[in-house]
Structure 1
């Protein structure tokens, strides 16, 4: 299921994960084979999505204090 999210067709075009671009050392700008040095948020008609260049967002952290009872399926009152 997660692989489908990375390979979906409705991805917002950005030069950051285009197959025609190479990131510069500053991490903000891209060297495009077609347009030269551009901002990573730009895009053009020649955009070709490369899923290996896209960095997925970090998963959300669990907040709060949980105990073992929060994750048990049975009643904790019964002891055998």
Structure 2
């Protein structure tokens, strides 16, 4: 597994090179096992870092000039 998203990536079909999203957007179409759940994994798992979707950035709080006065 790569260090791109940490030292240990849990195997999931969602990130596998053999899987792709189904039409419903939930299930994964696996080349090896057919339709599977996104968090399923098998011994053929091959990590594809390009399938990872980064988490959305948190929204920063809004500050006013009064917040910086002593």
- Alignment partner, residue 64 of structure 2: 67
- Could you list the runs of 4 or more consecutive aligned residues of structure 1 that deviate by over 2 angstroms after TM superposition? 67-71
Structure 2 unmatched runs, 5+? none
- Alignment partner, residue 51 of structure 2: 53
What's the TM-score once normalised by structure 2's chain length?
0.77
Q: Which has the larger radius of gyration?
A: 1
What's the TM-score once normalised by structure 1's chain length?
0.68
- Cα deviation for residue 70 of structure 1 reads 6.2
- Alignment partner, residue 11 of structure 1: 9
Q: Deviations over 1:7-58 (max 9, x none)?
A: x441111111100111111111111111111011111111111011110111
How many residue pairs match? The answer is: 68
Q: In angstroms, what is the RMSD of aligned CA positions?
A: 2.3
2:32 equivalent to 1:34: yes
